[in-house]
Amino acid sequence: MNSHDMSILSLVLQASWVVQLVMLILVGASVASWATIFRKSQTLKRVRSLNDGFEQDFWSGTSLNDLYASAAHHAKQGGPMERIFASGMREYQKLRERRIADVNQLMDGTRRAMRASFQREMDEVESGLSFLGTVGSVSPYIGLFGTVWGVMHAFTGFANMEQITLATVAPGIAEALVATAMGLFAAIPAVTAYNRYAHQIDRVASQQETFIEEFSNILQRNVGATGSNTPSGH
C-alpha cells in the first residue's frame, strides 16, 4: 500500500480477504440492526398508543359488552391490551354458557386465557430484541478477530522486509484496527437500542399485567353482584 494513502476506503480495499470478510459481516450486522431499531421503534410507539387508547375507553364507562364487540370486530387492528381483554371476555362467556357457577373456577379460567394472550402479545412485542442483544455483544469480538488476523497478516509481511519503519508498519496495523472500529460501530447502537427498548417493553408488560388484575377484579365483582351470564358494566 502507498504509505500516503490512508483513507478508510483504501484501508478496507487493501486488507486481507479474511479481514474484508469480517468487515462485510459487520456492515451487514450494522444495517440489519438499524433496520430492526427503526422497526422496533415504530412498533412500540404503536403499541403504547393503542394500549393507552383502549385503556382510556375501558375506564370511560363504556359497557364491557360494547368494548368486547368492538374488540372482536377489529381484532387485527387493535392493540395487545384490547386483544387480552377480548380473550378474557371470550373465555368468561364460554364458561358462563357452560353453567359454571363456581366463582374461583370461572375466574381461574378467565385469568389463564388472558395470561396466554398476554404471553403471545409479549412474544410479538419482544421480537427482534434478542437480535439487537446478539449484535451488541458479538460484534466487538468479531471486529477484534479481524484486528488480530490483520495484525498477524501484517507482521508476516514485515518478516520479508530488511528495514522496518513507522511508514511501513502503520498501513498494515491501520487496516487491522478498522475491523475493531467497525465492530464498535455495529455494537454501540445495538446495545443502546436494546437497553432502551427492553425498558419500554417492561413498562408495556407491567401496564398489561395491571390491566389483567383490574379487569379480573371487575369481572369477579360482576359475578358476585349480579350472577348474570354476561357482565354489562364496570
For residue 158, what pLDDT band results from cuts at 50, 70 and 90?
Answer: low
Question: 177: how many CB neighbours lie within 10 A of its CB?
Answer: 16
Question: Considering the chain, what is the average pLDDT of its residues?
Answer: 84
**Which are the contacts of 126, defined by CB distance < 8 A and separation ≥ 6?**
201
For the chain, give the secondary structure using H, E and C.
Answer: CCCCCCCHHHHHHHCCHHHHHHHHHHHHHHHHHHHHHHHHHHHHHHHHHHHHHHHHHHCCCCCHHHHHHHHHHCCCCCCHHHHHHHHHHHHHHHHHHCCCCCHHHHHHHHHHHHHHHHHHHHHHHHCCHHHHHHHHHHHHHHHHHHHHHHHHHHHHHHCCCCCCCHHHHHHHHHHHHHHHHHHHHHHHHHHHHHHHHHHHHHHHHHHHHHHHHHHHHHHHHHHHHHCCCCCCCC
Contact yes or no for 72/86 (Cβ under 8 A): yes
Question: 154: how many CB neighbours lie within 10 A of its CB?
Answer: 21
Question: 110: how many CB neighbours lie within 10 A of its CB?
Answer: 26
- pLDDT at 64 exceeding the cut of 80: yes
Question: What is d(CA 204, CA 51) in angstroms, rounded to the nearest whole number?
Answer: 9
Question: What is d(CA 112, CA 62) in angstroms, rounded to the nearest whole number?
Answer: 24
Question: What is d(CA 88, CA 107) in angstroms, rounded to the nearest whole number?
Answer: 9
As a whole number, mean pLDDT of residues 180-190 equals 93
* pTM (2 d.p.): 0.81
pLDDT in tens, 103-117: 888 899 999 999 999
Question: What is d(CA 162, CA 159) in angstroms, rounded to the nearest whole number?
Answer: 8
For residue 2, what pLDDT band results from cuts at 50, 70 and 90?
Answer: very low
What pLDDT is attached to residue 78?
87
What pLDDT is attached to residue 177?
82
Contact yes or no for 108/216 (Cβ under 8 A): no
For residue 22, what pLDDT band results from cuts at 50, 70 and 90?
Answer: confident
